[in-house]
Amino acid sequence: MGQAELVGAGRREDNGFAPATSEIADGTNVVRVRELDKRYGKTVAVEGVHLSIGCGEIFGLIGPDGCGKSSVMKAVAGVLSYERGKVEVFGLRVDSEAEAERIKHRLGFMPQGLGLNLYPDLSVEENVDFFARLRLVPERELALRKRRLLGITRLERFRDRPMKNLSGGMKQKLGLVCTLIHEPELLILDEPTTGVDPVSRRDFWAILSALVAERKTTVIVSTAYMDEASRFHRMALMYAGRIIAQGSPEDIRSLVPGSQVLVWARTQQDALARLRVGFNQVETLGPSLCVYADGLTPEAAATEVRQTLDGIEVDRIEAGEPDMEDVFIALLRLRGGVSNVERPVLPGSAVAVPRGETAVAIEARSLTRDFGRFRAVDRASFRVSQGEIFGLLGANGAGKTTLIKMLTGLLRPTDGNGRVAGEDMRAAGWRIKERIGYMSQAFSLYTDLTVAENIGLYAGIYGLVAREKRARTEWVLEMAQLAGYETILTGRLPMGLRQRLALGCALVHRPQVLFLDEPTSGVDPLGRRQFWDILFGLSRAEGVAILVTTHYMSEAEHCDRLALMYAGRIVADAPPEALKREVEAKAGAVLAVSCAAPAAAMALLSAAGFGGLSLHGQRVHLFSPSPEHDRLRIAALLAGAEFGAVEVSPRPTSMEDVFIYRVSELDRSEAQA
């Protein structure tokens, strides 16, 4: 399939970008895009895009919101016109409604958004039947296809449930079933896993992998989740309407050689300041620091980091392969504009109480909330110290948002109690509200007000006097990097800037405790890192206690401690590293198996009794209680010629591995009860 190509290596455009191409060597292109340009008025959405996608390939378009992914996919699906370029699908040029009609029976298109292609008041089965009739699926085949698709998506027992009553993950799986019911040859999925919990995400990928293996379906998937890069055979990284690199994940990593180093230092802030002088790319990850060392092997990178921190006490250093988010940001650095920014300190004292284990900022004691006969939160108990970043993880519908609403006083508990910022959550009322900041899951600012007007509104709500209001407004603008945007309507800001403005408004009154409900959903990787930089500074330098929910498993690493919610209950509460060690003790280490036929290998390994199997592009990941013994066993199992050269290598246990293992374990226990 060829090497990855880095934009900029060839002809360069006025904006510093140049087209990247990656042809399929055997000529089996299902999709070919050349010099595609799309504009919305004066806004350039896509410029000079080249793509070639082969038969039976899972191809990814990865990039932040607004980078042009959806426009490219809609052009390929034949539902969007464009100003310049050529789009060919199945060898036919798609440049008019008539031409699009010639291919629509051969493709399936699932638009962005949870269940946006579905009908809320129809049941699961009624939605499937509607799309089957729309696609002229013969009645004699419908029952068989429906039973198979509802089975593999685990929606069989929900046939009669209205779509509007499904969780986010279930809506997306139903949307996929409706898109697949006519058995398309080309599947186009626009951000199908955004807002979906990790268990449903893994189910989603298992279904796609099975389709490719069984039917040679070609799949195009767009995503803003960088940790999904390993799922693709090939992919294109997009930024600002252009493709900056494309190829296999391994080939794209080779474009910016380097290593990732994790550091646990006794004085974290001192180590962070020192490392940011010596390295271009450094981020905080809970109690550790993550360094991307350009051009160095893991051994050399670890040595250089240790030398940089000479004189600072270091507990542990680990070095290895960088993840795709590191690679993406490194590629952006080659184009300039990405740098480490010092965050300003909030004027005055940020909090009124000291940090430390004895300073409890949030305490939940057997909190319970019922909605009729449904128990959304079931006797949840935990404590968060002042200055701690505490993560709340759980599948869609686990009860996370309900729990936050009780703690913030927006929802009365059915039973139980708690304290927030030193006050009884049931009785304190306004005294709690003036000591907390809250960012809801939905964007809560006024889009028809300017940036400065939104800040001023929140300052007024909290009763700040004129002098305080001026000082805090200046701080929010500096902290959120919004200087120069004061008179811009909030609705016109990019998602990352909007979320930082929302955070600033939640902080304008100097709260002791900050509640964040999925604050970075839809924010690009660079914006997320900048957001977490701010949170780190608030917790470490200013002592703010932060409770955050997130669907990005990589973000869970930023937390000092994590609580896992399942069916309304807190089932685990520990630092990320402790949760990983616990799973490794039960399930074993994670091994990655690379071979020529990964889907067939996964079926064989499953039959041999290996657990925790998941497909990642050309690799199969699994749990191994005895890695050295299992390496030999796996090599023997995959000795057939169809598997080619087999490579088995250890992989670090991720928070996604932890989450899915624990939830699967709980599902099995519930089923047996």
Average pLDDT over residues 247-253: 91
Query: Which of 304, 334, 364 lies at the terminal end of a domain, its last residue?
Result: 334
Q: Take residue 213 and report the two structure tokens written for it.
A: 């293996």
Same-domain pairing of 600 and 462: no
347 in any annotated domain? no
Average pLDDT over residues 164-181: 87
Cα separation values, 240 from 46, 252, 356, 497, Å: 8, 18, 43, 15
Q: Take residue 192 and report the two structure tokens written for it.
A: 């199908």
Same-domain pairing of 16 and 125: yes
Same-domain pairing of 214 and 296: no
351 in any annotated domain? no
Query: For residue range 379-410, what is the model confidence (pLDDT) as tens digits?
Result: 999 999 999 999 998 877 788 889 998 998 88
Range of the domain at 473: 356-574
Same-domain pairing of 492 and 372: yes
Per the structure, how many domains does the chain have? 4
96: domain CATH number is 3.40.50.300
Could you give the angle at which helices 655-672 and 198-215 cross, rounded to 10 degrees? 90
Same-domain pairing of 597 and 561: no
CA nearest neighbour of 322 among 282, 365, 354 = 282
pLDDT bucket at 25, cuts 50 / 70 / 90: very low
pLDDT of amino acid 265: 94
232 within 8 A of 221, measured Cβ to Cβ: yes
pLDDT of amino acid 593: 95
Looking up tokens 């300073």 gives 359
The rounded percent of the chain whose pLDDT value lies above 70 is 91
346 in any annotated domain? no
Query: Which of 557, 574, 591 lies at the terminal end of a domain, its last residue?
Result: 574
pTM: 0.81
The yes-or-no verdict on residue 493 having pLDDT over 50 is yes
Same-domain pairing of 99 and 171: yes
341 in any annotated domain? no
261: domain CATH number is 3.30.70
Same-domain pairing of 211 and 276: no
421 within 8 A of 361, measured Cβ to Cβ: yes
383 in any annotated domain? yes
pLDDT of amino acid 531: 82
Distance, CA of 231 to CA of 217 (rounded, Å): 15
The yes-or-no verdict on residue 342 having pLDDT over 60 is no
Beta-ladder partners of 318: 262
Query: For residue range 415-461, what is the model confidence (pLDDT) as tens digits?
Result: 999 999 888 887 767 777 888 999 887 667 899 999 999 999 999 98
Distance, CA of 626 to CA of 608 (rounded, Å): 14
Sign of CA dihedral 62, 65, 71, 76: positive
Query: Which of 521, 552, 574 lies at the terminal end of a domain, its last residue?
Result: 574
Same-domain pairing of 371 and 240: no
pLDDT of amino acid 42: 85
Cα 273 to chain centroid distance, Å, stands at 28
612: domain CATH number is 3.30.70.1280
Same-domain pairing of 175 and 34: yes
Same-domain pairing of 408 and 545: yes
36 in any annotated domain? yes
Same-domain pairing of 504 and 625: no
Same-domain pairing of 388 and 537: yes
Please report the DSSP string for 534-598 in residue order: HHHHHHHHH--EEEEE-S-HHHHTT-SEEEEEETTEEEEEE-HHHHHHHHHHHH-EEEEEE-S-H
114 in any annotated domain? yes
The yes-or-no verdict on residue 71 having pLDDT over 80 is yes
339 in any annotated domain? no
Distance, CA of 68 to CA of 243 (rounded, Å): 9
